């Protein structure tokens, strides 16, 4: 996943935005022939993510640096543990510090939150969404998977997902009629290999959606009673259909869904509400 050209482009952008005018502080107070060892250290309990980007960062800068990995992506570490050790020119390490930390703090933050969700989801599969930082989708979704949750669509071309606005944009006097119109067009025009998921808001839309044998049905913002009724209808009509729930999926809400017959939940909060974790770099100048 991380071999995507988009990731390399993002690394180059991060270098450009920080070093377009050079590192005037290091260049004016650190000797050119100074060398140092630097440890990248977790300052809180976290799930490590993004270490494999570090060599690419130095490669893009064309800087010779020795890298010793002391942890790995997916590892749970505690405050004070070193994640990796770098040795190189002091100026190079200082000018690359924030670039490295920005990637590690964001990605480890998403992985840490995803690990919490995955650990409390029981038999439910927790899916991410396309609610990612622009340009960061590959990294955000990689971090989600490192944390133990699953990736949904990477882009609009991965699968057909009929959402509320698609239905509302179709012709018809009722939601059911508009749903039928939208799905009829899709059935007529779509490539045969694309899976189809349909978002439904009520029983009327669900009944129509099931007529078209979708791969998955997304139950949007339904109460427990509505979910139970929907699951019963799906299991009796199209038992092979994957049942996903969405809308306000907090960790507490996910726990309450266990035993209702839902297969998966989609959680935008994995990438929209994950705080950066605290990671720092400490330099030791070689004498």
- Residue 199 catalytic? yes
- In the set 150, 163, 238, 253, the catalytic residue is 163
- In the set 23, 60, 220, 226, the catalytic residue is 220
Helix residue ranges, H only, 120-161: 137-147
- Residue 98 catalytic? yes
Backbone phi and psi for residue 78, each to the nearest 5 degrees, phi listed first: -110, 165
- In the set 12, 98, 130, 253, the catalytic residue is 98
- In the set 8, 131, 150, 238, the catalytic residue is 131
Backbone phi and psi for residue 86, each to the nearest 5 degrees, phi listed first: -115, 145
* SS3 (DSSP) at 42: strand
Query: Could you give the CA distance from residue 234 to residue 113 in angstroms, rounded to a whole number?
Result: 32
- Residue 177 catalytic? no
- Residue 220 catalytic? yes
- Residue 16 catalytic? no
* SS3 (DSSP) at 32: coil
> What tokens appear for 102 in the block?
């920005």
- In the set 199, 201, 205, 244, the catalytic residue is 199
Backbone phi and psi for residue 138, each to the nearest 5 degrees, phi listed first: -60, -45
Active site residues: 98, 131, 163, 199, 220
């Amino acid at each position: 996943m991380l071999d995507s050209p988009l990731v390399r482009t993002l690394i180059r952008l991060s270098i450009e935005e920080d070093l377009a005018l050079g590192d005037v502080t290091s260049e004016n107070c650190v000797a050119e022939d100074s060398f140092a060892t630097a440890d990248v250290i977790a300052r809180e309990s976290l799930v490590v993510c993004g270490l494999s980007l570090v060599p690419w960062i130095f490669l893009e800068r064309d800087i010779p640096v020795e890298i010793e990995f002391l942890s790995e992506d997916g590892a749970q570490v505690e405050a004070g543990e070193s994640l990796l050790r770098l040795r190189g020119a002091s100026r190079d390490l200082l000018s690359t510090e924030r670039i490295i930390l920005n990637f590690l703090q964001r990605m480890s933050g998403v992985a840490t939150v995803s690990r919490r969700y995955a650990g409390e989801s029981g038999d439910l599969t927790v899916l991410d969404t396309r609610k990612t930082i622009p340009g960061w989708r590959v990294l955000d979704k990689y971090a989600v998977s490192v944390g133990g949750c699953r990736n949904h669509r990477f882009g609009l071309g991965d699968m057909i997902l009929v959402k509320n606005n698609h239905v509302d944009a179709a012709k018809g006097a009722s939601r059911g009629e508009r749903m039928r119109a939208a799905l009829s067009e899709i059935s007529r025009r779509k490539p045969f290999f694309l899976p189809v998921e349909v978002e439904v808001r009520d029983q009327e839309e669900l009944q129509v959606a099931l007529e078209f044998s979708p791969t998955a049905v997304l139950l949007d913002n339904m109460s427990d009673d509505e979910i139970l009724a929907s699951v019963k209808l799906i299991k009796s009509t199209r038992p092979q259909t994957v049942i996903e729930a969405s809308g306000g999926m907090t960790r507490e809400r996910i726990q309450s869904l266990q035993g209702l017959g839902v297969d998966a939940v989609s959680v935008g909060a994995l990438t929209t509400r994950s705080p950066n974790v605290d990671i720092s770099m400490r330099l030791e100048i070689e004498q």
